[in-house]
Structure 1
Amino acid sequence: MTSFDDDIYLLPHVIKFWLYLVILIPSIICSLFVLYYLLFDRTLRRALNNHTIIVLIFVCLICQLTIYPWMLYFYKNDNHWYRTLTFCSIWGFIDWGLYITQAILFAWASIERHILIFHDRWVTTRKKRFYIHYLPLILLMLYCLLFYSIVYFIPFCKNFVHDYVSPCISVCSYDNHAFFLWETVVHQILPNLTIIIASITLLIRILRQKHRMRQRIQWRKHRKMTIQLLSISFLYLIFSFPNTIMILMYLCGLPYHIGYNVKIYAEFISYLVTLFFPFVCIVSLPELRKKIKRILLLRPTAISVYPETFTIKYNRNTRHIGILDNKVQ
């Protein structure tokens, strides 16, 4: 995400600055809100389909609190910002490494939805849940973090600072054709294609099953997971997939001067995935939507009122009725 960022004629820095700033502040608030309820609501926290979402929100929040403020400062100062190689390596790792990590993890989530909806017996026991649900998530995270830690912090060649772009590092590993091919195909093209294909096939399977009488109850049970997946997949389709298409076309031999302007815009809007991700999570989770409506409308939590129960004793001699006990149930 660094090659075309220095063209300020097609996308002036003032436009980037204000667009990112306007979206960034509410996006951070939404990330904190979603993360809070997914972690502290026991039902939401224990749902297997929310575990990957929690990790992705964490990734979004890290990016929102680091690289986006850095980009705003860079655009505000019109490229005049001297940075060290260490700082630029951290920026590059968060900017590109976590972006790819997010795409790969959601690609796995797209596949896992098929398991959770159509093969839920695979995760009925603790052992099965570990191997089918937790282990792939852990391995993919470790792979991505280790891979990009080597690329940015302990490369086999020498990275250098590129002062005139926002992620101010030029990665020498991309000069190796084998590395470039692996990183482009496996880390960029394959995850986005997986998200699109898995989402389309899930929708087709759901529609087929929904029209069967015996599957109506099952559809209601898994509707939330399906809507959540399709909503986030639509986000990737709009903001990330165009950049993937351009990368694929260049990899297939398209000259770089063709579609140069399109690539600049496609790369620019790909940064919006992280900013809009929390909003899509709220829209796709009805529990969070209800909480937000209650907060915005300032509706107090309903207080249950129960009748008081009295224990009454009747004295035959004095014909007096006395209240001996007063309890609130």
Structure 2
Amino acid sequence: MVWIAIERHLLVFHSQELLRGQWRKLLFHYIPIIICLIWPPIVYLGLVVFPAQCTNAWDFGTLLCGPPCYTYTGTYGIYDFISNVSVPLLLNVLINILLIIRVIKGKMSRQPGIDWRRHRKMILQFWAISTLHIALWSPLVTVSLIQMTVDPLFMIDQYTTLEYILYYMPLILPATCLFGMPEIVNKIKDFLLKRRTNVVTIGDLARTGQTRQTQQNVTVR
């Protein structure tokens, strides 16, 4: 999510420089995506599946079978929460604010070299995706920070509910992306309407055939 925010920012304000040359595409597009794909499996295989610092004790009656043991070891738990959860969320918020400021400033000053009509759809889609990420993750991160720094029992009874909220992210994200791509939505609508029309036509033909067969039977009798 953070790299999407950064890349969209670069594509809006530095698209000409970013897309000029294969090494720029490799450096600013492909390599970050590859890192984002391989980083989580490597980190969580080491922390959860093959932990060297502790032994997992799973409880199959609780959410996620209970948290992995590294969350209780101090250093590893704090590292994961700060570097993989809190910092990306904070960066997403800051980049969102910066993008809004730059868009307003650029439109007011009529910044040359930027086709705002062309980038409008991309900016709105980015805001929708980033807002979803921020809205679903902020409550849990905020409560966790308060528990770590001020009151360990703060909203302790509601904490599990906040963890369940995170599961709405992969469920709502595809619909959020589709709303930013109306051409794909129109293709899906056309496909469904065409398929429905075909089904109705076949049904009508079947009923017409049955009616004709009945009329023939009555005539024979």
| TM-score between both structures, scaled by the size of structure 1 | 0.55
Query: Residue 286 of structure 1: which of 182, 185, 193 is its match?
Result: 182
Say if 1:125 and 1:171 are closer, same or farther in 2 by CA, change over 3 A.
same
Q: How big is each residue's C-alpha offset from its partner over 1:238-283, in whole Å with a ceiling of 9 and x where there is no partner?
A: 2221111111212223222x21234233222121111101110101
Say if 1:170 and 1:260 are closer, same or farther in 2 by CA, change over 3 A.
closer
% same residue: 27
Aligned pairs for 1:192-207 within 5 A:
192-207=89-104
Counterpart in the other structure of 1:155: 51
Counterpart in the other structure of 1:144: 40
| C-alpha RMSD over aligned residues | 2.1
Using the alignment, how far apart are the partners of 2:189 and 2:28 within structure 1? 36
| Pairwise CA distance, 1:222 | 1.3
Aligned pairs for 1:108-147 within 5 A:
108-120=3-15, 121-147=17-43
Counterpart in the other structure of 1:243: 140
Is the CA contact (8 Å cut-off) linking 1:123 and 1:133 kept in structure 2? Answer: no
Size of the aligned set, in residue pairs, is 194
My pick for the range that moved more, 196-205 or 209-218, is 209-218
Q: Aligned letter for 2:156?
A: Y
Query: Residue 123 of structure 2: which of 203, 226, 233 is its match?
Result: 226
Q: Which has the higher contact order (CA 8 A, sep 6+)?
A: 1
| Pairwise CA distance, 1:214 | 4.7
Counterpart in the other structure of 1:266: 162
Q: For structure 2, which runs of at least 5 residues remain unmatched after alignment?
A: 197-221
Is the CA contact (8 Å cut-off) linking 2:13 and 2:114 kept in structure 1? Answer: no
Is the CA contact (8 Å cut-off) linking 1:123 and 1:132 kept in structure 2? Answer: no
SS at match of 1:261: coil
SS at match of 1:298: helix
Is the CA contact (8 Å cut-off) linking 2:136 and 2:165 kept in structure 1? Answer: yes
Q: For structure 1, which runs of at least 5 residues remain unmatched after alignment?
A: 1-105, 301-329
Using the alignment, how far apart are the partners of 1:108 and 1:284 within structure 2? 18
Counterpart in the other structure of 1:92: none
Q: Answer 1 or 2: which has greater strand percent.
A: 1
Say if 1:261 and 1:160 are closer, same or farther in 2 by CA, change over 3 A.
closer
Using the alignment, how far apart are the partners of 1:260 and 1:215 within structure 2? 52
| Pairwise CA distance, 1:224 | 1.9
Q: Answer 1 or 2: which has greater helix percent.
A: 2
| Pairwise CA distance, 1:183 | 0.6
Is the CA contact (8 Å cut-off) linking 1:159 and 1:169 kept in structure 2? Answer: no
Counterpart in the other structure of 1:211: 108
| TM-score between both structures, scaled by the size of structure 2 | 0.80
Q: Aligned letter for 2:65?
A: C
| Pairwise CA distance, 1:200 | 1.9
